[in-house]
Amino acid sequence: MTTNGLTQIGLFIVVLLAFVKPLGSYMATVYEGKSSGLNLILGPIERLIYRMLGTRPEDEMSWKAYAGAAILFKFCFVLLLYLILRFQGILPLNPQGFPGVSPDLAFNAAVSFITNTNWQSYGGESTMSYLTQMTGLAVQNFVSAAEGMAVLVALIRGFTRRTAKTIGNFWVDLTRSVLYILLPLSLVMAVFLVSQGVVQSFSPYKNVPLLQTIGYERPRVDADGKPVIGADGKQLTEPAKAFEQTLPLGPAASQIAIKQLGTNGGGFFNANSAHPFENPTPLSDLLEMLAILLIPAALCYTFGKMVGDTRQGWALLVVMGILFVPFLTVCYTAEQAGNPLFTAIGVDPAAGNMEGKEVRFGIANSALWAAATTAASNGSVNAMHDSFSPLGGMMPMVLIQLGEVVFGGVGSGLYGMLAFAMVAVFISGLMVGRTPEYLGKKIEAFEMKMVALVILIPAVCVLLGTAVASVTASGVAGVSNPGPHGFSQMLYAFSSAGNNNGSAFGGLSTNTPFYNTSLGIAMLFGRCWVMVPIIAIAGSLAAKKYVNPSAGTLPTHAPLFVFFLAGIIIIVGALTFLPSLALGPIAEHLMLYK
C-alpha cells in the first residue's frame, strides 16, 4: 500500500460520508411526499404521469397489490426490451447497422437489465445500436433502480405504520424515485463526465489513421467466409496490416451516469469503466466510484429519518462500513503485492499486479472500485477482475456472496440488510428467551419464513448453478483459465447473477445458449424471489401493533447489535460459500505461493 493510495481511499470515504445526511434527508422528504424545492419544476411532470397512469398518491395498495404491480411492471418491460433487442436491425438510430441479437442473448440481456443486474454476455460497441442502448438499456437502468427503492420504502412503511392494511402506492414511489432522485443526479453527473472526456454523440463511429501501421496475424477464411483449419486442428492465420482504428461513439455519458448511480453497472462499451471513453480521467473515476455507493449509503439515513430515529440508520451504515473496509484492505494488499510468477522473471513487484488495469487509475483505485462495485450490486468495473490475484479477486466475489447487503443495490441492498437485521434480533431473542422485536414490531414466524427465502434463494441459485455448470460439457466449455481459476470463473458468474451484481471474471465465454439461459434464470430468481418476500414482510409488519420498548428490548442502534449483525452476515456467508471458495481462489492462491 502506498501513502497516496491510502489518501485517495480516505478521501473517497470522507466525501461519500459527507453526502449521506443531506441526500438521505432529501430522499426522506421525497418519499414522504413533502415539498422539496424541485417540486416547482418537476411537480407538473409528476402530476401528468399520475394522470396518465390513472393513479393518485392517495390510492394506497395492499402488499399483494404492490407486489402484483411490481411484477407486472417487470413483465411488460422485459417483453419490450426483448423485442427491441431482437428487432434493432430494422429499427432507427443504428448507424453501424448491427443486426438483431440472438434469442438466447436477447433473453439474457433483457432479464439482466430488468433485474438491475446488468450482466453482459456481449460487447456494447460491437452489438448494440444507439437506440437499444438509449431506449432499451438506459431506461431499465432508471426503472429497475427505482423499483428497488420503491420496495425499500414500502418496507420502511411496514415499520412505521400501525395496524394498517396498506403499504403505499407502487406507481407513486416509482415515479418519485425516477423524477426527484435519479434523473436530477444523473443529469448533473452526465455533464460532469462529458467534461472529463466521456463521449455523448449520435454521430457514427469515426475512423482515424494509426500513426504506425501495424502487422498482425489474421485468421484465414476461404471464399465462403468459413475459417480454414490446418492439419493440427487449429485455424490458420495470414499476415495482415492495420492502417486505421475505429473510434466508437454514442450517447454514452447519459447512460454511464445512471448505470453508476442506479447500481446497474452495464457498460456502454465492452471494457466498461476501464474504457477511456467511459472513464477517461482519475477525476471521472472518483465521481463514478462515489456514484456507486452514494444512494445506497444515503438511503440508510433516509431509513433512519423515516422510522423517526436516525441512530437506527447510522447503525446499519456502520455495519456496512465495518464489513467493507477489511475486504477492501485485503484486496488492495493482494493487488499491490504483484504476481509472484513475474517476480520470478525479474520484474519488480512493488508496482503491483497491472494485468487488466489502467495506468491512470493504478492499483489503489482499481482495488477500491472492485470492492465498491461488488459491495454495492453495481457490477461495473474499471479493471478486469479475472486478472486479479487469487485473494484480490476473492474479495469482490465474497462481497457479492454476502447477499449484496454491504451497501448493496439502491433500495435492494438496504432491504436485504434489514432482512439480516431481523435475523439478528430473532437470534438474540432466542438467546434470552424473549419475543424478538425490531423498531417496535414483533418479528414472528411469518417474517422469519420470508427472511429465510430472502437469504436462501440467491445462495441456492449460486451453488446449484455453479454445480451444474461444472459438471456439464457446455458449462466447462466456457472456461478460459486453467486449474482452480477456471472453477472460480464459473462460481463468480453464478454469484454475480444470483445476487444481481453483474460483474464477471470476464474470460468465461457466456454468450452461449447454456450460460445465457442459466444465468438469466438465476438473475430472475435472485431478484423476484427476494423482492416479493420483502413486500410480504412489509405488509405483515404494517398490520402489526406497535410494542413500546421495555427494559428487556435489545437496543438496535448500540455497538453490541452492530457487531452482532455484522457477525451474523459473515457467518451465514461463510457457512454457505467457504467450501466452494476453497476449491477456487483459495486453492489457486496456495498453488501460486507454494
Partner 1 sequence: MTKIIRAALVSLIAFTILTGIIYPLAVTGIAQLIFPDQANGSIIVKDGKRVGSTLIGQPFDDSKYFWGRLSATASFPYNAAASSGSNLAESNPVLVDNAKSRIDALMGADPQAPASVPVDLITASGSGLDPHISPAAAEYQVKRVAATRGFEESVVRALVAANIEYRQFGILGEPRVNVLTLNLALDELGQK
Question: Under rule CB under 8 A, which residues in 418-437 are in contact with partner 1?
Answer: none
Q: Does 143 bind partner 1 (CB under 8 A)?
A: yes
Torsions phi, psi for 291 (to 5 deg): -65, -30
Residues 51-110 touching partner 1, rule: CB under 8 A, are 52-55, 65, 68-69, 72-73, 75-77, 80
Tell me the helices (H) and strands (E) count for the chain, helix number first: 22, 4
Q: Does 390 bind partner 1 (CB under 8 A)?
A: yes
Q: Return the SS3 of 370.
A: helix
Residues 324-343 touching partner 1, rule: CB under 8 A, are 338-342
Q: Which residues of 516-549 are buried (b: 16+ CB within 10 A; e: fewer)?
A: bebbbbbbbbbbbbbbbbbbbbbbbbbbbeeeee
**Contact, 463 vs 518, CB < 8 A?**
no
Q: Return the SS3 of 376.
A: coil
**Contact, 174 vs 153, CB < 8 A?**
no
User: CA-CA distance, 335 to 354, in Å (whole number)?
Assistant: 8
Q: Does 354 bind partner 1 (CB under 8 A)?
A: yes
- The C-alpha cell that represents 385 in the structure block: 477482475
**Angstrom distances, CA of residue 342 to CA of 166, 367, 589:** 61, 20, 15
Binding mask 226-245 for partner 1 (x = CB under 8 A): --------------x-x--x
User: CA-CA distance, 6 to 370, in Å (whole number)?
Assistant: 15
Q: Does 201 bind partner 1 (CB under 8 A)?
A: yes
Residues 530-589 touching partner 1, rule: CB under 8 A, are 588
Q: Return the SS3 of 496.
A: helix
Q: Does 202 bind partner 1 (CB under 8 A)?
A: yes
User: Which residues are within 8 A (CB) of 42 and not within 5 positions of it... i.e. 6 or more apart?
Assistant: 179, 180
User: CA-CA distance, 534 to 418, in Å (whole number)?
Assistant: 9
Binding mask 483-502 for partner 1 (x = CB under 8 A): xxx--x--------------
Q: Does 282 bind partner 1 (CB under 8 A)?
A: yes
Residues 2-21 touching partner 1, rule: CB under 8 A, are 4, 7-8, 11
User: Which residues are within 8 A (CB) of 217 and not within 5 positions of it... i.e. 6 or more apart?
Assistant: 237, 238, 239, 240
Q: Which of 352, 408, 409, 539 binds partner 1 (CB under 8 A)?
A: 352
Q: Does 277 bind partner 1 (CB under 8 A)?
A: yes
Q: Which of 100, 136, 265, 408 binds partner 1 (CB under 8 A)?
A: 136
Q: Which of 153, 253, 542, 543 binds partner 1 (CB under 8 A)?
A: 253
Taking the complex as a whole, how short is the minimal distance between the CB of residue 339 and partner 1, in angstroms? Answer: 5
Whichever of 286 and 406 has its CB closer to partner 1, that residue is 286
Q: Would you give the DSSP letter of residue 383?
A: S
Q: Does 291 bind partner 1 (CB under 8 A)?
A: no
- The C-alpha cell that represents 405 in the structure block: 447487503
Residues 162-181 touching partner 1, rule: CB under 8 A, are 171, 174, 178-179
Q: Which of 416, 506, 533, 573 binds partner 1 (CB under 8 A)?
A: 506
Taking the complex as a whole, how short is the minimal distance between the CB of residue 383 and partner 1, in angstroms? Answer: 5
Q: Does 206 bind partner 1 (CB under 8 A)?
A: yes
Residue range at the interface with partner 1 (CB under 8 A); choices 123-131, 149-157, 317-325, 495-503 = 123-131
Taking the complex as a whole, how short is the minimal distance between the CB of residue 42 and partner 1, in angstroms? Answer: 11
Whichever of 52 and 231 has its CB closer to partner 1, that residue is 52
Taking the complex as a whole, how short is the minimal distance between the CB of residue 144 and partner 1, in angstroms? Answer: 11
User: CA-CA distance, 575 to 403, in Å (whole number)?
Assistant: 13
Taking the complex as a whole, how short is the minimal distance between the CB of residue 194 and partner 1, in angstroms? Answer: 4
Per rule CB under 8 A, count of chain residues that contact partner 1: 128
Q: How many of the other CB atoms lie within 10 Å of CB of 322?
A: 14
Whichever of 103 and 197 has its CB closer to partner 1, that residue is 197
Whichever of 247 and 560 has its CB closer to partner 1, that residue is 247
DSSP strand E in 1-146: where? none
Torsions phi, psi for 128 (to 5 deg): -105, 135
Binding mask 441-470 for partner 1 (x = CB under 8 A): ------------------------------
Taking the complex as a whole, how short is the minimal distance between the CB of residue 381 and partner 1, in angstroms? Answer: 7
Q: Which of 88, 378, 380, 387 binds partner 1 (CB under 8 A)?
A: 387
Nearest to 144 by CA among 190, 112, 102, 176: 112
Taking the complex as a whole, how short is the minimal distance between the CB of residue 378 and partner 1, in angstroms? Answer: 16
Residue range at the interface with partner 1 (CB under 8 A); choices 21-29, 347-355, 415-423, 562-570 = 347-355
User: CA-CA distance, 416 to 423, in Å (whole number)?
Assistant: 11
**Contact, 196 vs 280, CB < 8 A?**
yes
User: Which residues are within 8 A (CB) of 123 and not within 5 positions of it... i.e. 6 or more apart?
Assistant: 269, 270
